[in-house]
Amino acid sequence: MTRWIRALKSRSFRLKLMITSVACILIPTCITLGVSNVMTEKAMKEQAAQNARNTLQLVDGYVSSLLDLMLYVINYIQVDAEVNVVLREQAAEPLEEDAEFRYRRFVDEYYTVIKKLDNLSIAGGEQFFITILLPNGKSYTNYAKDELDPDRWRDEPWFEELRKLSGFDTYWVGTQPTMFRTLKKDHPHQLSIARPLRNNSTGIYAYVIVTVLEDNISYIFQQSAGGREIALIDGTGRIHSHTDPAKIGTVLDEAALKTSGFIRLDGEAVLAVREELRYADWSLLLLSPYKEAIAGVRNMNKAVFLNLLISFFTFMLLLILLIGTFTKPLKRLGRLAETVQRGNLQVRSHIRGQDEIGYLGSSFDQMLDRINEMIAEITAEQTKKRKAELAMLQAQINPHFLFNVLNSIRLNILRKGDRENAEVISSLSRLLRMTIEQDKENISLRDEMELVSHYVRLMNMRRKENAQLVLDIPEEALTVRVPRFFLQPVIENALIHGLKQRGGIIRVGVRFEPETMVIAVEDDGIGMDRETLEKLRRSAASSGERTRESDNRQNFSGIGLSNVRERLRFIYGEHSAMRIDSAEGRGTAVTFLIPRQEVNAVHVQSDAG
């Protein structure tokens, strides 16, 4: 055996694949033929029972899903805080309706309760009829009241049982004649569940009843039955749903309730399978005649035996042929990989197709193309990097020199007592320092607002009237790390285009939402018309490369709104957003939405760095 395994390992992949495939077909076939000859009637019975259980489990899944949806609807109403506030208020108010009450009733019912009931009325593709009854006689429904008077539920014999329930206990009403006027003819039965809603003092402030038409369940039974009987029963054997509607409401034979497997029922051998549900004491029951239960298994065994004998040799020969054809490109790729290993990156496989081998050949060729491109890119990038480093060192000389000279001038002016001009020069000096510190991509919001304040002070020197900067920022937001210079272009646009040369207010506000930090920059300037606003939005949303020279002509920082948007998208991902709103004569607002998770992540990374 070891010698055969060693010999097989030394062969090619194609030969090993062929031998293994034939063995994987031959061995199971021989075992299957041997086992099929000794199969007994007991095995057929077990298979039939298993098929019945599988069918019942499938039905169980559908029925349980429907009942789960009914529970979901009633649970949603019980735990929804907004709905419960309205229900408690309405339960505490008198039934008489004056003008003020009618207004409150319209607002509360339509926008709070009725709207949610309408949303819940069709869940998972099923239609539910929802009724909420208040102790003072008021009611809410998702159906027309001329279809069914909600107060009829109070007359049902089981309604008083609801008073004994507490918490999340549910009363399973079961199947009863349909109460809806236009549905009685085509849908004779309905199935309902009910639950009381209690205050902390155990007082009931509402009753919730969820109803579904019974034929939603019997339709599932009929689709899965295949000539067998399937029923939904309770612990007493009462049938709540059945493939035969005439049997709904009747009680099953006691033998079918206590036994599973092959039993005698009315003098006939019957396969009975029961599946317990997790609701109350309900269960699913499948009844199938013995002959029909095993007929399919017996015929299947005969067909399998004949097909195995006929198909084995045909498929074995076809498999060997197909494996040889399918693996031919793999052999070609193997030879090509050896050529690449020797250093020749110009060869290509030219293998194409819609399957995995075609994808592998195409990816292999693309990989070689990309390697050649990366070699060229790395060479060019290294050259550009050396030139950029030299240019950066040369460009830093003038800003540092100007910064030091400005500090000297500020000190001289302070010595002469001109504090106002000294403060202006100090603001210009600090802005210049921020442009020199190229390594700080992210700064705290406090530093960003200080930078913006200096910028506004400098711009006020060039204006006829001063602009006022108002900050509405919570203390915990000042330590959040943000991209450097991302607010300055917005402030500049507000000064130049929004306020023009007149005075006004620029307001910067920050607030936290559950998953987002919102930064809003608003001005009370002239605003813009819709056409100009749409043009600005398209410009800000588009990304494009501009030369440094044109950027410097556009604004102080050289960063336009589109570049600000691109920076936010690069740092925070697609979950960030920039929104521009404006109206003529009412000013302009630019709002940034930044995910709080991403903000925290940037904060942590910046602190760590």
Tell which wins on pLDDT, 67 or 608: 67
Choose among 500, 505, 496: nearest CA to 523: 505
Confidence of residue 307 (pLDDT cuts 50, 70, 90): confident
Q: What integer is the mean pLDDT of 425-447?
A: 72
- Retrieve residue 180's tokens: 């809806």
Residues near 421 by beta carbon (within 8 Å), at least 6 away in sequence: 413
pLDDT at 13: 67
Confidence of residue 548 (pLDDT cuts 50, 70, 90): very low
Distance CA 42, CA 492 (A): 88
- Other beta carbons less than 10 A from residue 48's beta carbon: 22
pLDDT at 582: 92
Instruction: Please tell me what DSSP assigns to residue 251.
Output: B
Distance CA 270, CA 293 (A): 9
Domain ranges of the chain: 41-295, 332-393, 440-608
Choose among 394, 466, 390, 391: nearest CA to 424: 466
The CA-based diameter of the chain, rounded to the nearest angstrom, is 121
pLDDT > 70: percent of the chain: 74
Tell which wins on pLDDT, 136 or 334: 136
Domain 41-295: give its CATH superfamily.
Answer: PAS domain (3.30.450.20)
Q: Give me the CATH code for the 440-608 domain, please.
A: 3.30.565.10
Tell which wins on pLDDT, 529 or 554: 529
pLDDT of 71 above 70:
yes
Could you tell me where the beta strands, DSSP code E, fall in 412-493? 442-444, 467-472, 481-483
- Give the ranges where 226-355 is alpha helix by DSSP (H): 254-258, 290-326, 328-341
pLDDT of 241 above 50:
yes
Q: 261: left (phi > 0), else alpha (psi -120 to 50), else beta?
A: left
Tell which wins on pLDDT, 34 or 244: 244
pLDDT of 41 above 70:
no
pLDDT at 518: 94
Q: What angle do CA 60, 63, 67 make, to 5 degrees?
A: 130
